[in-house]
Chains A and B, each alone.
Chain A
């Protein structure tokens, strides 16, 4: 047995990345960033708001959190929907008490299913980020450009109309993309994305339709990942988020500003037994000097502005 000759050929083996989306860059060698008002840390809270269709397909893959019991899966369909009915309001209340501004990454279909939810997010002064159409519509390279564009356009149009916001941010279901996704996002007037997990600062991605800013969103301290993939306790989640913040905060003294992202889910952190852990994390971060709480869009805009004047 042997493999075809091509298996030992490496056409992209050259300096830098093996694709054209962005250049390699060392976080610790970049010109230091100072956030607005001299802040050291930009705190980006991103709440996932999701709809898992009862008939969601399992091919080519399911987004994390997908229904997993035999059809009809009453169990997880309703558990996820709890976040939209109850959990998110618990989270909104907490943000309101603390005067925080957050991004809410919302499946487009939520705008037509639950307009009251959209209204509450907008009235709370928060930013709406498009989170694809629904959790069954994952983006992947098997989709035609037209089909993928239609999903993106529909999600954005639903959310733009319902929120009255420009909705320039994007988070794919399951953070999954195809080869064309960044090009299509830029074509649909998306200016920043949260899918790529390779940095602690924003950076610019190239697309066929102009630049797209990649805004950092942590992967391994996401509340769902810690709870449902690592099966770790709430206290363990709190500890890791605090530890993450401490290191980024320490680095910001010598290396310039950092982004501390806090990805949470309405059906995870919005649970009664979890909400006070979220409060603990927020209290900890906000007790430090030099923390700028902003939406992901404001962080992206600030980054672009700094980039232009640097």
Chain B
């Protein structure tokens, strides 16, 4: 890594405690914005190495892990999409943009449904670690161009490939026109991100609702995944009376699209869709509403006031 000393803080957002925040109300008086973000990914058979992270645990080709991921693009995506169709959810696709070249059939099926595409880098086996800033800008340009060429959409959102980041990443995303990042997990509401230009916001994505964390890290059962999705929803839905919230369900078709997992997931999202006051939406639409409802400006003012202190609530104790 670089010779620069490590920092103790990301420095990308200011503290703003939950109580007494400006109230967010989503369009149509919806209490909660629920968005589903399928990670439609391509992992390479023989990727180059990056000194910070080796793509596969075993030497290339790691055929078990490679084929496991490939399952998502041969079989799993169709089950996932069918479940989302039934519950009336459009996807916001976290896309490894090279998939436009490899599997245009999948891209077309998503586009035909009015799904949003946001960028998840070129491949999930290429990281931004050790890139210089110009190289990382090149990846952002590639992503914008590829998604525009294949879908006609302008990228609004970004999830860094395999959540790899540099300190400048948010600045150059915002500079390129990205409106929301999914790389930060510090809140249940969108929040302003401190960048050099533009009005980038952090969009609540989720580690805990993410099937890859649930299945590959926490190793929970499919039915328990269905349970935690419902409980997460119940709580955020209830709290949405106070101020509207965001719930995201990030997915990976190679995991949630397995036969033994799809039904528990489908049942959970049908449960969500069965409630009044739920905004079934996309990342792009939430970002737009955050600005149009005045939430961005109100939160920015609240953060400035909090920074000016004194505070009655959420006083920092360290």
- Which A-chain residue is minimally distant from B72 (CB atoms)? A198
Given contacts A60-B58, A240-B221, contact A27 B78 (CB under 8 A): yes
User: Which residues of B187-238 have CB atoms within 8 Å of chain A's CB atoms?
Assistant: 215, 219, 221-223
Cross-chain contact of B60 among A141, A200, A219 (Cβ < 8 A): A141
B50 at interface, CB cutoff 8 A: yes
Residues of B close to A16: CB separation below 8 A: 102-103
Q: In the complex the two chains form, is B2's CB within 8 Å of A8's CB?
A: no
Residues of B within 8 A of A236 (CB): 221
Majority SS at the chain A contact face: loop
Taking CB atoms, residues of chain B closer than 8 Å to A140 are 58-59
| Complex: A179 Cα to B63 Cα, angstroms | 9
A residues at B contact (CB < 8 Å): 1-3, 6-8, 10, 12-19, 24-28, 60-61, 140-142, 174-179, 181, 195-200, 219-221, 229-232, 236, 239-241, 243-248, 251
Beta-carbon contacts under 8 Å, B112-161 to A: 122-123, 126, 130-132, 134-135, 138-139
Q: Does A244 contact B258, Cβ atoms closer than 8 Å?
A: yes
Contacts of B58 in A (CB 8 A): 60-61, 140, 176
Q: Which residues on the B side are within 8 Å of A231 (C-beta)?
A: 219
B294 contacts chain A at the CB level, 8 A cutoff: no
Is the CB–CB distance between A200 and B102 below 8 Å? no
23 contacts between A and B (CB under 8 A): A3-B130, A7-B135, A14-B102, A17-B45, A17-B102, A18-B44, A18-B45, A25-B74, A26-B78, A26-B105, A141-B60, A176-B58, A176-B62, A177-B63, A179-B60, A195-B64, A197-B68, A199-B71, A200-B75, A231-B219, A239-B221, A244-B258, A245-B259
Closest A-B pairs by Cβ, 7 of them: A244-B260, A2-B132, A247-B259, A198-B67, A198-B70, A27-B75, A196-B67
CB of B54 to closest CB in A, whole Å: 12
CA A244 to CA B70, docked complex, whole Å: 18
In the complex the two chains form, is A28's CB within 8 Å of B48's CB? Answer: no
Residues of B with C-beta under 8 A to A239: 221, 223
A244 to B79, CA, bound (A): 13
Contacts of B59 in A (CB 8 A): 60-61, 140-142, 178
State A17–B258 Cα separation when bound (angstroms).
21
How far is it, in angstroms, between the C-alpha of A1 and the C-alpha of B46 when the chains are bound?
24
Q: Which residue of A lies closest to B64 (CB)?
A: A175
Q: Which chain A residue shows the least CB distance to B1? A: A1
Known: A2-B130, A140-B59, A219-B68. A243 touches B102 (CB 8 A): no
Cross-chain contact A220 with B260 (CB below 8 angstroms): yes
CB-nearest residue of chain B to A24 = B103
Which chain A residues border B126 with CB–CB below 8 Å?
7
Pair B102/A13 contact, Cβ less than 8 Å: yes
Give the residues in chain A near B71, CB-CB below 8 Å: 197-199
CB pair B68 A198 closer than 8 Å:
yes
Contacts A3-B132, A7-B126, A246-B259 supplied; 4 other A-B pairs, CB < 8 Å: A2-B134, A220-B215, A232-B221, A243-B259
The 8 Å CB contact of A14, one of B63, B101, B130, B215, is: B101
**Closest Cβ–Cβ distance, residue B5 to chain A (whole Å):** 15
B78 — which chain A residues lie within 8 A by C-beta? 26-28
A8 & B138 in contact (Cβ 8 Å cutoff)? yes
Q: Give complex CA distance A200, B59 in Å.
A: 26
Contacts of B95 in A (CB 8 A): none
Known: A24-B103, A25-B74. A3 touches B131 (CB 8 A): yes
Asked if A141 and B130 sit within 8 Å, CB to CB, the answer is no
- For the complex formed, measure the closest distance between the CB of B318 and the CB atoms of chain A, giving whole angstroms: 32
CB distance from B69 to the nearest CB of A (A): 8
Residues of A contacting B98 in the complex (Cβ-Cβ under 8 angstroms)? 10, 13
Measured CB to CB, the closest approach of chain A to B188, in angstroms, equals: 29
Residues on the B chain within 8 Å of A141, using CB: 59-61
- Report the bound CA distance from A239 to B225 in whole Å: 14
| Chain B: CB-nearest residue to A242 | B260
Contact between chains at A240 and B222 (CB < 8 Å): yes
Query: Shortest distance in angstroms between B96's beta carbon and chain A's nearest beta carbon?
Result: 11
A140, B58: Cα distance in complex, Å:
8
